[in-house]
Structure 1
């Protein structure tokens, strides 16, 4: 991948935005019949820092498993009343990848292709012309003869909108001065921190006896100031591990806001020449915020479509019933007629870990979905369904 000013103004494919979704799509293209087509990736960042942590689970080998910093076969769930559940997720494993490790690997792989170029610039506009699609940037205008893959456009989820659910979080990767962590399991949800009806929890990824990621997370509409999350992490470390600020070093901090509202657009295809990908294209599963493995699977399917001589723009397939379940779950969390912690506690108490992960990955059957829905408190979900039906009239 050439990191310099582009050698041309015209490419077959242009990627407006060069994050995980775009780079993984280019990676799969580089292994396809389209490997030697001219491609340009435009992004303001050169991807040289660890700006994100990506996690996923799978019951079979996946493309980027070798890049995982750590993998686990067990999870912990901690309920709001203090009850803890050890969750065996076999045959699944839960994987953690540092973005810098992934970026470094992808850039090395793509550097073997002189036809794949990178421009460090801001995208300002994407405009369809008669013969090409123009991508305007802070360093000039470029043209795609086939398609622009757009991960630059904002997803229609408003930060201040009380009807738009978000996963918002701040995390610290810390190194303790002495061994204290048990690294054999992930703490997926710790609701012992929950104070109200918002879905509020700590997420913990211990990678050794002295190192762990602590991420204070909400599934809610209201985003807080960064100092709020930091204070919560400090209090948690003191309360549950007896750690004062002098006992550890903060090695890295990450924060983010992930849309959990469903995209009102019917498809990712803006036109035959522009296709939204990544968060812009609703690659994130609305009810969980997970996107890494989902992105790889969608992009692999997209590449198969692009390999065809007369390919159509790929549209993200939607299972109508699964989408409806996501809608209902999101409505329950928004209405807060029941604490989110109680919903998750019911699910983890009454279902196996493997069934839960298959459900979250949309791999369960219709009948398994119905069975699982009988394990949640019924009244809040019936109320949510009623409100959704009334809203659609």
Structure 2
């Protein structure tokens, strides 16, 4: 895909669409706008990608669940039909989620697949530059850029879809941070069940505020992504993330001899803050910046796909590309109650989630978390939570003030070089 060399001038006539940011949301939207579709408009698109450096996030893992084939199946690293939840003690809960599949995508695989398709598109151009500002102007918007040579440039666009991460959240009643650190490991002996994901393993030490759990995505009997995750108000010191994953791998999973191939770390805000999806007459936010993250879980990939599908359809039909809410109002209201119950300490997180997965079929619970259940199903699931703490939290919410919240800088746990290879396994 060639670099954009039109409309990035002081006097150019501009392009139809500027997509700012080449993460999951920006790449997904550009992909949906690439090429001709019979009977629909083919907009001219510039995808603005940050240059290599601190503005580009490190490789990361996205998961979602879906039934049937998807648009980005070529980027799926692995998928599973069985999920497992482990309480702090007692037998694990395991379920088949058919017809759904739980799918894992690595961001570098996703970028490779999408950019290969965009390279064949005559209407999408990629521009590597730092966005200094986005300015709403009559009849469109200006994207002020600094190119790799340090020169200021101007991109004129009829519409701007901005996917850059927010620096701060709108005022919220409740904010919990989902922060995690994981290892991609290879073990000397088979240690994982490749047929099932360990979705929530509550055998981790629980923090004084919030909850923690282990998470295992097995890609083979000897390879997996092993993560430690917390829902709490504050992130940890960097060295504590390594210690937490080491404890989970060695003391809980008892992996034995293992090699750490790579690491990943991140922070996802879980909040009832209303996120603005339109910031100007011609400027909109998409992805996590546009409210695509499900507040109660931190999952974002499925929500941003719904958003970008609707935005692309509007642009091709000549309509204003207003991103829809990725999650319906009823789901957001229930999430607000859950977050308040967890943050206040009224609800015991491991007990609450363990009860839900024990009493609700897993496929139905996943459909609920994706907002595709009916009202009677939502009510049935709500009745399987601790009703007293949830009701008190719901009654308290209207009286709570909304306060601003600055997002923390993502923790950067120590990332030493990959461990040396394991010695060859002895055979008889």
Report if TM-score (shorter chain) is over 0.5: yes
The equivalent residue for 1:16 is 20
* Structure-2 change in CA distance of 1:372 and 1:48 (3 Å): closer
More helix by share: 1
Give the Cα separation in 2 of the matches to 1:311 and 1:299: 13
Of residues 94, 98, 121, the one that matches 2:102 is 94
* Structure-2 change in CA distance of 1:82 and 1:156 (3 Å): farther
Give the Cα separation in 2 of the matches to 1:340 and 1:194: 13
Residues 75 and 186, structure 1, Cα contact 8 Å, conserved in 2: yes
SS, match of residue 400 in structure 2: helix
Per-residue Cα deviation, 1:159-179 (whole angstroms, up to 9, x for no partner): xx9942121111111111232
Note the C-alpha offset of 1:380.
1.4
Note the C-alpha offset of 1:37.
1.3
Residues 123 and 152, structure 1, Cα contact 8 Å, conserved in 2: no
The equivalent residue for 1:165 is 176
Give the Cα separation in 1 of the matches to 2:371 and 2:139: 40
Unaligned runs of 5+ in 2: 9-13, 403-428
The equivalent residue for 1:305 is 314
1:129 maps onto 2:128 in alignment: no
Of residues 275, 279, 285, the one that matches 2:288 is 279
* Structure-2 change in CA distance of 1:48 and 1:148 (3 Å): closer
* Structure-2 change in CA distance of 1:199 and 1:48 (3 Å): closer
Give the Cα separation in 1 of the matches to 2:139 and 2:365: 48
Farther off after superposition, 69-78 or 117-126: 117-126
Normalising by structure 1, what TM-score?
0.91
Per-residue Cα deviation, 1:181-238 (whole angstroms, up to 9, x for no partner): 2211000000011424522101100100111001111122111122112111111111
The equivalent residue for 1:195 is 206
1:110 maps onto 2:109 in alignment: no
1:327 maps onto 2:339 in alignment: no
Note the C-alpha offset of 1:330.
1.1
Note the C-alpha offset of 1:102.
0.9
Note the C-alpha offset of 1:284.
1.0
Residues 131 and 144, structure 2, Cα contact 8 Å, conserved in 1: yes
* Structure-2 change in CA distance of 1:179 and 1:50 (3 Å): farther
Note the C-alpha offset of 1:143.
2.5
Per-residue Cα deviation, 1:343-364 (whole angstroms, up to 9, x for no partner): 1011011111111111101111
SS, match of residue 220 in structure 2: coil
1:236 maps onto 2:245 in alignment: no
Give the Cα separation in 1 of the matches to 2:259 and 2:255: 11
Residues 165 and 288, structure 2, Cα contact 8 Å, conserved in 1: no
1:368 maps onto 2:377 in alignment: yes
1:257 maps onto 2:267 in alignment: yes
Give the Cα separation in 1 of the matches to 2:398 and 2:255: 49
Q: Please tell me the root mean square deviation across aligned C-alpha atoms, in Å.
A: 2.5
1:39 maps onto 2:46 in alignment: yes
The equivalent residue for 1:208 is 220
Per-residue Cα deviation, 1:136-155 (whole angstroms, up to 9, x for no partner): 22222323331111112516
Give the Cα separation in 2 of the matches to 1:49 and 1:270: 24
Note the C-alpha offset of 1:58.
1.2
Per-residue Cα deviation, 1:286-338 (whole angstroms, up to 9, x for no partner): 11111112211221111111122343533326532222101111111211223
Per-residue Cα deviation, 1:107-152 (whole angstroms, up to 9, x for no partner): 0000112442222222221112334412122222323331111112
Residues 183 and 207, structure 1, Cα contact 8 Å, conserved in 2: yes
Normalising by structure 2, what TM-score?
0.84
Unaligned runs of 5+ in 1: none
Alignment of 1:3-82 (within 5 A): 4=3, 6-9=5-8, 10-31=14-35, 32=37, 33-35=40-42, 37-45=44-52, 51-82=59-90
Farther off after superposition, 22-31 or 267-276: 267-276
